[in-house]
């Protein structure tokens, strides 16, 4: 995300570095990384990113934000698994409480917890010059996320499976997201974290999510660019 004079990544799952290369983003412009939780599909490209920054002559201190397990996770990947990267770039670790707001210059980023099995997770609301974007990461229906997303210009919300019987408090289905959208009232919704069956039923999924709202609902795609 490019906001104000800041370049910020939200989650760095597998393929992130490749997509950054495809979009011709200068990786040395990245100021901060926010991780929602430490499942592999949300953080696995962090180590490749660090190596690329080192080899690209990165001169900044990378700010790394995440849940309270972040220091233990960072020690595991940067000191135990890949100690050769230790000290190659400056990294400032900032652990985030369940609800707090941090500032990167004029950009305000607020957190809430999400409901994702037993994981300690964070959703993020980014605000700048009267515009707002909310990124949920992984979550089942969650009151904290609904409150965080109220009135957002853009809600990037996971939709991992179709309606049906699933474990509670892990992911979100179309009908569950329909209720979330109705209450939080964002202007636009982008669906992410999609399984193949969700993509295969794109038309009905979009219709269900947007049924009780005037908001535009779209399926997120790799290399998609949105301006707020």
- Measured between its terminal Cα atoms, the distance across the chain in Å is 11
The rounded distance, in Å, linking the Cα atoms of 17 and 204 is: 32
Q: Dihedral through CA 186, CA 190, CA 193, CA 195, nearest 10?
A: 120
Query: How many domains would you assign to the chain?
Result: 2
Same domain, 77 and 168: no
Same domain, 62 and 111: no
At 69-102, the pLDDT tens digits run 999 999 999 999 999 999 999 999 999 999 999 9
pLDDT, residue 55, reads 97
Strand ranges for the chain from DSSP E: 2-3, 6-10, 32-34, 61-66, 90-95, 101-104, 107-112, 123-128, 131-135, 154-158, 188-192, 216-219
Q: Which of these three, 58, 75, 95, is where a domain ends?
A: 95
Q: Which of these three, 29, 61, 95, is where a domain ends?
A: 95
Place of tokens 């135990």: 80
pLDDT, residue 38, reads 97
Low-confidence ranges of the chain (pLDDT < 70): none
Same domain, 86 and 26: yes
SS3 helix, strand, coil % of the chain, rounded to 5? 30, 25, 45
State the pairing for strand pair 90-95/61-66: parallel
Domain coverage including residue 66: 1-95
Same domain, 101 and 183: yes
At 155-178, the pLDDT tens digits run 999 999 999 999 999 999 999 999
Contacts of residue 214, defined as CB under 8 A and 6 or more positions apart, other chains included, come to none
Q: At what angle do helices 202-209 and 174-184 cross, to 10 degrees?
A: 30
pLDDT, residue 34, reads 98
């Amino acid at each position: 995300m490019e906001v104000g004079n800041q370049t910020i990544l939200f989650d760095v799952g597998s393929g992130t570095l490749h997509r950054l290369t495809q979009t011709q983003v200068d990786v040395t412009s990245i100021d901060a990384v926010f991780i929602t939780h430490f499942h592999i599909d949300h953080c696995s490209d962090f180590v490749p990113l660090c190596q690329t920054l080192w080899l690209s002559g990165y001169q900044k201190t990378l700010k790394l934000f995440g849940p309270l397990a972040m220091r233990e996770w960072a020690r595991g990947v940067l000191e135990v698994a890949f100690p050769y990267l230790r000290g190659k770039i400056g990294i400032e670790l900032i652990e985030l409480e369940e609800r707090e707001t941090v500032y990167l210059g004029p950009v305000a980023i607020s957190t809430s917890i999400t409901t994702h099995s037993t994981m300690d997770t964070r959703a993020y609301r980014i605000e700048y010059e009267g515009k707002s974007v909310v990124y949920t990461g992984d979550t089942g229906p969650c009151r904290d996320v609904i409150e965080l997303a109220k009135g957002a210009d853009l809600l990037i919300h996971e939709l991992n499976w179709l309606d049906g019987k699933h474990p509670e408090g892990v992911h979100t289905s179309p009908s569950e997201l329909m209720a979330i959208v109705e209450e939080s009232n964002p202007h636009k919704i982008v669906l992410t974290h999609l399984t193949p069956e969700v993509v295969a039923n794109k038309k009905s999924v979009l219709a269900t999510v947007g049924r009780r709202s005037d908001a535009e609902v779209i399926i997120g795609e790799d290399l998609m660019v949105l301006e707020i």
